[in-house]
Structure 1
């Protein structure tokens, strides 16, 4: 298992953005599900700040895979969340709970994450918070 990726997810579950950022290269490319690529730690931090305002999430059932001698990794997990504040263009937030499978892919260099790609089923999430 890739220790940097494990540390990244541990930090996520602890709500520790600074520890997440410590796992990233300065020029990290963050590929957001159904969004634009954000490059750099400042944009990653801003994304995390936004997510923390709108969502409270814990990742469970984590399985981390490693390949290419530690330069690539992937993870699958379940997102257990609460929708706290309405996110622009999405349904109204009313404290709805959701649970959905997701996955992330990573590139790593010199022990730091240089690329993060995250996928989940937005239609499934929308259905869950719209009920």
Structure 2
């Protein structure tokens, strides 16, 4: 019985999965890699097209985002939509930043699972080789 009460108390004290993601995006936009990493469980699985395989845990997250902030001093994520269902959040956002004088704009979608206030799975999708003229090609096809 005590175990059930403790589990219920932890669940009640934990922020919603959507709130966790809102906090993560706020930390990202402050360029606070340590704060972003603090939302990840020790055994969190992180999957992204720019990684060679699955990555695990907050130490990786902290190092990875510190690298982004170094490479893109004006890095910013703009959340377009966020949908919470159970312990999973689907989020659509746009990353913008400038590296070496080159402006970057990347639409991204992530599916994040949160348990007891910690991210346990973060799967992200984006085009790793965007085509600068894809809009004009789409317009040509429409003619």
TM-score (norm 1): 0.78
| Structure 2 residue aligned with 1:33 | 49
CA distance in structure 2 between the partners assigned to 1:61 and 1:49 by the alignment:
20
How many Å separate the matches in 2 of 1:98 and 1:34? 15
Ranges in structure 2 where 5+ consecutive residues have no aligned partner? 1-16, 134-143
Shift of the alpha carbon at 1:127? Answer: 4.6
Rounded Cα–Cα distance in structure 2 between residues aligned with 1:49 and 1:40 = 15
* Cross-structure match for 2:104: 98
Is residue 38 of structure 2 the alignment partner of residue 12 of structure 1?
A: no
CA contact (8 A) 1:33 1:117 kept: no
Q: Of 69, 73, 84, which aligns to 1:52? A: 69
| Consecutive unaligned residues in structure 1, runs of 5 or more | 84-93
Runs of 4+ in 1 over 3 A off after TM superposition: none
For 1:48-127, list aligned pairs within 5 A.
48-56=65-73, 57-67=75-85, 69=86, 71-83=87-99, 94-124=100-130, 127=132
TM-score (norm 2): 0.72
Q: What is the root-mean-square deviation of aligned Cα atoms in Å?
A: 1.9
Q: Residues of 2 paired with 1:40 and 1:9: CA distance?
A: 18
Question: Matches of 2:27 and 2:50 in 1, distance apart?
Answer: 24
Count how many residue pairs are aligned between Structure 1 and Structure 2: 115
The structure number with the bigger radius of gyration is 2
Report the secondary structure of 1:123's partner residue.
coil
**Residues 54, 30 of structure 1: alpha-carbon distance in 2 compared, 3 angstrom cutoff:** same
Q: Quick one: structure 1 residues 61 and 5, their matched pair in 2 at CA, closer, same or farther if it must change by over 3 Å?
A: closer
Instruction: Name the structure with the higher strand share.
Output: 1
Report the structure, 1 or 2, having the larger helix content: 2
